[in-house]
Amino acid sequence: MYLSNTSTGKKALAVVVAAGAILAVSVRDTAPGRQPDTLPPPHLADVALFEEIQAWLDPASGTATARTSPDGRPFYEKIRTRGESFGLFIGAADGDAVRNLLRRIPFGAQIVAVAERHEIDPLLVAAVAQTESAFDTLAVSPKGALGLMQMMPATAEQYGVANVYDPSENLDAGASYLASLLRRFDGDLVLALAAYNAGPGKVSRFQGMPPFRETRKFTNSVLRLYVEHHRAAWAAVNPRGLDFAVLAGG
19 falls in which pLDDT band (50, 70, 90)?
A: very low
Q: What is the pLDDT of residue 1?
A: 37
R_g of the chain computed on alpha carbons: 20
Residue 93: pLDDT above 60? yes
Active-site pick, 132, 157, 214, 228: 132
Least confident of 12-26, 170-184, 232-246: 12-26
More confident of the two residues 64 and 187 = 187
The one-letter amino acid code at 225 reads: L
User: Which among 85, 76, 80, 81 is positioned nearest to 58, based on CA atoms?
Assistant: 85
Q: What is the pLDDT of residue 69?
A: 53
Active site residue 132: yes
- Contact between 74 and 216 under an 8 Å Cβ cutoff? The reply is yes
CB burial of 66-94 (b: ≥16 within 10 Å; e: otherwise) equals eeeeeeeebbbbbbeebeebbbbbbbbbb
Give the number of other Cβ atoms within 10 Å of residue 225's Cβ.
19
Q: Which residues have a Cβ under 8 Å from the Cβ of 214 and sit 6 or more positions away?
A: 197, 198
Residue 229: pLDDT above 90? yes
Q: How far apart are CA 2 and CA 119, in angstroms?
A: 5
Q: What is the pLDDT of residue 167?
A: 98
Least confident of 95-99, 136-140, 180-184, 195-199: 95-99
* Number of domains present in the structure of the chain: 1
Q: Which residues have a Cβ under 8 Å from the Cβ of 45 and sit 6 or more positions away?
A: none
CATH number at residue 175: 1.10.530.10
Question: How does pLDDT run across 44-71, given as a tens digit for each residue?
Answer: 556 677 777 777 777 665 545 555 455 5
Give the mean pLDDT of 216-236: 93
Residue 129: pLDDT above 90? yes
Question: How does pLDDT run across 105-122, given as a tens digit for each residue?
Answer: 999 999 999 999 999 999
Q: What angle do CA 118, 6, 226 make, to 5 degrees?
A: 65
For the four alpha carbons of 180, 183, 189 and 191, in that order, the dihedral sign comes to negative
Q: What is the mean pLDDT of the chain?
A: 80
Is residue 146 helix, strand or coil? strand
DSSP category for residue 69: -
- Contact between 110 and 175 under an 8 Å Cβ cutoff? The reply is no
Q: What is the pLDDT of residue 66?
A: 53
What range does the domain containing 61 cover?
2-248
More confident of the two residues 102 and 234 = 102
Beta bridge partners of 68: 74
Q: What is the pLDDT of residue 74?
A: 87
The one-letter amino acid code at 52 reads: E
Residue 100: pLDDT above 60? yes
C-alpha 175: how far from chain center: 14
User: Which among 6, 2, 8, 18 is positioned nearest to 242, based on CA atoms?
Assistant: 18
Question: What is the phi/psi pair of residue 160, to 5°?
Answer: 75, 30
Q: What is the pLDDT of residue 13?
A: 52
Give the mean pLDDT of 241-250: 49
Q: What is the pLDDT of residue 8?
A: 45
139 falls in which pLDDT band (50, 70, 90)?
A: very high
Q: How far apart are CA 182 and CA 94, in angstroms?
A: 22
Q: Is the pTM for the entire model greater than 0.85?
A: no
Whole-Å CA distances, 74 to 20, 110, 123, 180, 190: 31, 32, 21, 25, 11
Give the mean pLDDT of 179-188: 96
3 falls in which pLDDT band (50, 70, 90)?
A: very low
